[in-house]
Amino acid sequence: MSKLRRGLNGIRTFNPVVGCDIGCSYCYARRFNKRYKIVPKFHEPTFMEYRLHQLYGRRGHVYFATSMSDLSGWKPEWRQKVFKAFRDNPQHIFLVLTKRPGRCWYKIEEDNVWMGVTLTTIDDVERIDMMTWNTPAKHYWLCIEPIFEDLGTLNLEKIDWIVIGAETGPAKDKVVPEKRWIMNIVKQADEYGIPVSMKDSLEEIVGKENFRSDLPKSFVKLIAD
């Protein structure tokens, strides 16, 4: 595992789709869209096909491709065009994410695409098995953000990377994670040798000695360049 630029800070965003109809109360993407007015109706996902050309002819990067959408909200024809661009640009690594793995019934054959699922509560844990069953892929990751409670035992057998973060935004009743919730995940990840990246806000909670900003080996060169 390697630590570079506080881990997550070296990962870029690339959003071919903007908008999500899930409506999470803690959604930072909806707040971002409201501020910058990227699309008029955030609850109606919009395909930004013109952005795909930005991937071509560039040196490799690690891109988070769903920071402004949920993969389950992509129409099949959008996904086909986007994934073709992913295949055409093997110099990059693309992270995609969903809260609804039950809607992602397709195989991801691209080695440079990492399929992920979001977990926030113990009721979400079943999404891990749902993801690996419904969406066969070469690589899987977990986004445990915002973490709202202890998630108990996780099936990490097929997981290649874990990201953990706290709730952000202006809400007065934000849930502040407990150290034991986070360290429970870290302990299980360590048993499988899985790199863990924590958002910066967790350092105060877990302490500098427990803070993690580990990255998968395949990310390291792209972020270091």
| Whole-number CA gyration radius for the chain | 17
Give the C-alpha separation, 159 to 142, whole Å: 7
Displacement of CA 52 from its chain's centroid (Å): 20
Q: What integer pLDDT is reported at residue 4 of this predicted model?
A: 37
The total number of structural domains in the chain stands at 1
- Does residue 1 lie within any of the structural domains? no
- Does residue 125 lie within any of the structural domains? yes
Q: In the numeric block, which tokens belong to residue 213?
A: 């900003």
Q: What integer pLDDT is reported at residue 6 of this predicted model?
A: 44
**Structural domain that includes position 159:** 7-224
Give the C-alpha separation, 133 to 62, whole Å: 25
Q: 122, 150 in Cβ contact below 8 A?
A: yes
Nearest CA among 159, 164, 155 for reference residue 139: 159
Nearest CA among 73, 67, 71 for reference residue 32: 67
- Does residue 111 lie within any of the structural domains? yes
Q: Work out whether the CA dihedral 17, 20, 24, 30 comes out positive or negative.
A: positive
Q: What integer pLDDT is reported at residue 225 of this predicted model?
A: 65
Q: Give the pairing type, strands 46-47 and 17-18.
A: antiparallel
Other beta carbons less than 10 A from residue 10's beta carbon: 18
- Does residue 94 lie within any of the structural domains? yes
Q: 151, 178 in Cβ contact below 8 A?
A: no
- Does residue 2 lie within any of the structural domains? no
Q: What integer pLDDT is reported at residue 7 of this predicted model?
A: 53
For the chain (225 residues), the mean pLDDT of every run of 10, in chain order, is 53 97 94 95 98 97 97 98 98 98 97 98 98 98 98 98 93 92 98 97 97 95 80
- Does residue 183 lie within any of the structural domains? yes
Q: pTM for the whole thing? A: 0.95
- Does residue 104 lie within any of the structural domains? yes
Q: In the numeric block, which tokens belong to residue 85?
A: 């661009």
- Does residue 187 lie within any of the structural domains? yes
Nearest CA among 79, 96, 103 for reference residue 21: 103
| Angle ∠(121,127,129) on CA atoms, nearest 5 | 135
| Angle ∠(32,144,138) on CA atoms, nearest 5 | 100
- Non-local (6+) Cβ contacts of 29 within 8 A are 20, 42, 67, 68, 69
